[in-house]
Chains A and B, each alone.
Chain A
Amino acid sequence: MNTKMYTDFDRRVLIVNRILIGFLVLITVVPMGYILIASFMDPQVLATRGISLNPSDWTVQGYQRVFSDDSILRGFINSLFYSTAYAILTVAISVMTAYPLSKKDLVGRKWVNYFLIITMFFGGGLVPTYLLIKQLGMLNTVWAIIVPGAVNVWNIILARTYFQGIPEELVEAAVIDGANDFQIFLKIMLPLAKPIMFVLFLYAFVGQWNSYFDAMIYIKDPDLAPLQLVLRNILIQNEVSSNMIGAQAAMNEMKKLAEMIKYATIIISSLPLIVMYPFFQKYFDKGIMAGSLKG
């Protein structure tokens, strides 16, 4: 765009535009930044004077108290396991289903597509699904969290579109070498599909990491609870464990301690996402996400 061609009016609008964008960035950053800072602040100071930049008002007590009770750590480990297992399973199913469907001459391709797409618009609903999981004996097991959602039609469509973009010639060369379809899939297609697999993995991991509803319905055993359920007890239902607070604290002090513990748990629960964030950016820059979003 040629900036020299901007009129004075345009320039003024652009300045207002920048101020508005700056304001939006502020609104986005402040709540998140507040939680990060508040998690390190002495709760007494935070309550009376607000955020302070004096290092003597800072403390890591919130974090120490969170880890004095093992429910958070256990939830964290459970969630890591659920999210990784679910993401691997859903990526595997997605590419395995998508590759045959990327072949225009596949027998029954149209019917398989219908079979999958109908499930995007219509489902049995909460209770019938729950009754099925119960009948299959999956209640209170890790399977109830990992398996039922493993087929994600949207992921299959994204992977299929990606496979269709891979040049035909690569496959033809392999066919001449005598490779069968499965060998072509494993040795040629999968290495080429690494970027889309990685994106799908990230999506699935984050989705599973952040979800709580299925676990709330299907998991009753607290030892199997994912982190989000533990967070729900602390953040929403205000059940901060007495291990964390300590028995001697007075009512008023307890409330402030509970608040600090809440801020710290929010930060801890976001760690894996913060670690993954640069990868999102990397693939976002490459346009894979936007391209795949457009389908």
Chain B
Amino acid sequence: MKKTANGSSLWSRISQQKLLLLMLVPGLLLTFIFKYMPMYGVLIAFKDYNPLQGILASPWVGFEEFRQFLSSPNFGMLLGNTLKLSVYGLLLGFFPPIILAIMLNQLMSDKVKKRLQLILYAPNFISVIVIVGMIFLFFSAEGPVNSILSFFGIKASFMTDPNYFRPLYIMSGIWQGMGWASTLYTATLVNVDTSLVEAAQLDGANIFQRIRHIDLPALKPIMVIQFILAAGNIMNVGYEKAFLMQTSLNLTASEIISTYVYKVGLVSGDYSYSTAVGLFNSIINMILLISVNKIVERMNDGQGL
């Protein structure tokens, strides 16, 4: 009785919900075209793609393109640059927003706190072009930073010396993103029960002890999620910014896998090779995301993403 009811009810439910289902069509269609069809296009990583023959008719070459990339002299440098930029970025950039949120949380007046946040997250809305433009202006040979440094008799060629690329990239990223990233943590701290804080004060806990035993445990779940998301994006470093910050002289530090994919693929037109390199990048990234999630699950009593 129930089975037949289910069988017929599927169709009756579909016809009942036909307007709702129709509303899904534009979004799903666009997703199919612009997200799934390129996934099919990834096939060219295993082929010697010739635009005239199309994807299907181009000859298979198997893992040849991957082998070529892994054995190329660039491989070590590209992987190293990508990992260094993102791992250092994650390690240095992860805690400042949390510390800032805890610092702001100690302020008495909510109004002052909101005003300060408004200022502190403003850089988040500056475009990457303008940020890099600012770096070029401020750190150029005759720019304000060098004229301040000249008081101390120092002169640094920030934009051409590869050693400065990563520090500039990471520090400007923290400058731009810290305020915005902290809002997530501030929103969590606002919900901490004030009676807990007062009880701790009665027990004689000082301000650092209260932060350690009340604020940090409250922040922990959201910190875990943020960390997994960030770690899962290790291989997706912001190529838009790295690409803009590249000068012909700092390439030994600034060339990363994603900027390389762009140059080989769209500038030089080596479609198959570039797609293989891009696919290699995504696969490493997937493996990282899954393993970080597993590790955190184990450390965090089975709680992952």
Contacts and interface: CB of A to CB of B under 8 A. Distances in A.
Interface residues of A, number: 93
Contacts, number: 252
B250 interface: no
B207 A181 contact: no
Contacts of A213: 239-240, 243
A100 B279 contact: no
B183 to A, nearest CB: 6
A28 B207 contact: no
B172 to A, nearest CB: 10
Contacts of A281: 114, 118
Contacts of B184: 290, 293-294
Contacts of A17: 103, 106-107
Interface stretch (A55-63, A116-124, A240-248): A116-124
A125 interface: yes
A97 to B, nearest CB: 4
A266 B133 contact: yes
B38 A132 contact: yes
B130 to A, nearest CB: 5
Interface residues of B, number: 88
A54 interface: no
A262 B133 contact: yes
A14 B132 CA distance: 35
Interface stretch (A66-74, A146-154, A191-199): A146-154
Interface of B is mostly: helix
B57 interface: no
B206 interface: yes
Contact of B108 (A1, A99, A121, A228): A1
Interface of B: 10, 13-14, 17, 19-21, 23-24, 26-28, 30-31, 33-42, 44, 51, 100, 103-104, 106-108, 114, 116-120, 122-123, 125-130, 132-134, 136-138, 142, 144, 147, 175, 179, 183-184, 186-187, 194, 197-198, 201-202, 206-208, 222, 239-240, 243-244, 258, 261-262, 265-266, 271, 274-275, 278-279, 281-282, 286, 289
Interface string A184-218: 01000000000000000000001001111100010
Contacts of B39: 122-124, 128
Given A32-B123, A125-B275, A151-B27, A293 B134 contact: no
Contacts of B274: 126-127
Which of B23, B30, B38, B144 gathers most chain A CB within 10 Å? B38
A273 interface: yes
Given A127-B275, A132-B41, A285-B114, A28 B123 contact: yes
Given A124-B41, A127-B261, A93 B125 contact: no
A231 interface: yes
Given A13-B207, A28-B175, A112 B28 contact: yes
